[in-house]
Amino acid sequence: MLLAIGGIALVYERWIGHALIAIISLVLMVYALTTGAILKGRIKKRSPRNVFKLHKRVGIYFGALILGSFIYGLWIRLQHGESILSSVHGKLGLIILLIAFLQLIPSLVLKNRARYRGLHKMMGYVLAPILFIDASWGLHNGVIGGTKSLVLFHSISGGLAALALVWIILEMLHPTDKGLARARIASYLAAFLITAGCWIAGGYNYLTVYGSQVKPVILAGPHPWAHAIVMEAKEHIFVFLPLIALTLSITLSVLNRDTFLHDPKFRRALTMIACLALFMVLLMFLMGAIISNAGQTGTEALK
């Protein structure tokens, strides 16, 4: 993920601070979800560290970064003389900020948190997909500067698939009785998102829009290699990804609970496959960002 952020940072500068903070927030959110699940006993505790303190600290960092990212986003909009909170990305950002504060403030202020825990847990799980959708949306807007709905759906599907793959990896690293059932759900989600959202929607866009509108602009622009190498590689390498996601789903669906709980070799193998799929999703993100940027610079050069 850090590799992908670094790569994007080298290509784009305007909104990169906002994007970097948001992506660090994503990492912290995954960590907060993991420590929260350990506290509830869904994930087995391995280290003797005080998990509650860790969860609290990560939550504070997460809230601070979300606030920072929100202010940064507003600042960028004002700098360009654009109206604030008019976009879906901005509105989702505000919702994320509100949920983050509703998560954080009562947890720090209330002395008896027992009655608040159910809501805290629910909001935590709701926050994750919203944050991934908003980050994918923001990445799309930042790179393309527009809102082509099909490409947006393609990007969001990739972001959510990455979240589902991280979920599978966590379930494999911390096996519990119900972990296999949850990992299966995550794998079905990942396979569906990668097949329907990324493969079919992305393929349709590639066949109907990219070839006739974007490809000629990139080839005529200052970075023709973005099509000749990056896009040509992306369109074909991608075909491997649905196969890997489907394999992961099939393997998890036939895996029995005893093997899942007591055979570390099996879990390690599945973790490796999930990591491979996650690496490919992030690679596709990076390649997509380079292609979209080449399209944008090509359009500007032709003006």
Partner 1 sequence: MKESATSIASAVITIFLTGCIIIAHDVSTDFKQSLVALTGHHWISVSVIAIVLFVLFSGLLMSSKSARKTLRADDIGLWSTTLIAVTLTMILGILAVLIAHYLVD
Of 245, 28, 260, the C-alpha closest to 135 is: 28
Residue from 86, 149, 213, 256 in contact with partner 1 (CB under 8 A): 256
Q: Is 265 in the site for partner 1 (CB under 8 A)?
A: yes
Q: Is 243 in the site for partner 1 (CB under 8 A)?
A: yes
CB 192 to partner 1: min, Å: 16
CB 242 to partner 1: min, Å: 8
Q: What does DSSP assign to residue 200?
A: I
* Residue with smaller CB distance to partner 1, 20 or 172: 172
Interface with partner 1 in residues 144-183 (CB under 8 A):
none
84, 90 Cβ separation under 8 angstroms:
yes
Q: Is 38 in the site for partner 1 (CB under 8 A)?
A: no
Phi, psi dihedral angles at 28 (to 5 degrees): -65, -35
Cα separations (Å) of 287 from 162, 221, 243? 15, 17, 19
Please count the residues of this chain forming the interface with partner 1, following the rule CB under 8 A: 34
> Quick one: tokens of 131?
């944050």
Residue span 193-232 as binding mask against partner 1, x where in contact by CB under 8 A, dash where not: ------x---x--xx-----------------x--xx--x
Residue from 9, 97, 150, 255 in contact with partner 1 (CB under 8 A): 255
Whole-angstrom distance, CA of residue 56 vs CA of residue 36: 9
Region from 29-37, 94-102, 235-243, 289-297 binding partner 1, contact rule CB under 8 A: 235-243
* Residue with smaller CB distance to partner 1, 129 or 242: 242
Residue from 272, 300, 301, 302 in contact with partner 1 (CB under 8 A): 272
Alpha-carbon torsion 264, 265, 270, 275, what sign? positive
Q: Is 82 in the site for partner 1 (CB under 8 A)?
A: no
**3-state DSSP: the chain helix, strand, coil percent, rounded to 5?**
85, 0, 15
Cβ within 8 Å of residue 35, ≥6 positions away: 51, 54, 55, 58
CB 186 to partner 1: min, Å: 17
Of 254, 162, 284, 148, the C-alpha closest to 208 is: 148
Between CA 83 and CA 92, with CA 89 as vertex, the angle to 5 degrees is 110
Chain residues binding partner 1 by CB under 8 A are 199, 203, 206-207, 225, 228-229, 232-233, 235-237, 239-240, 243-244, 246-247, 250-251, 254-256, 259, 265-266, 268-270, 272-273, 276, 280, 283
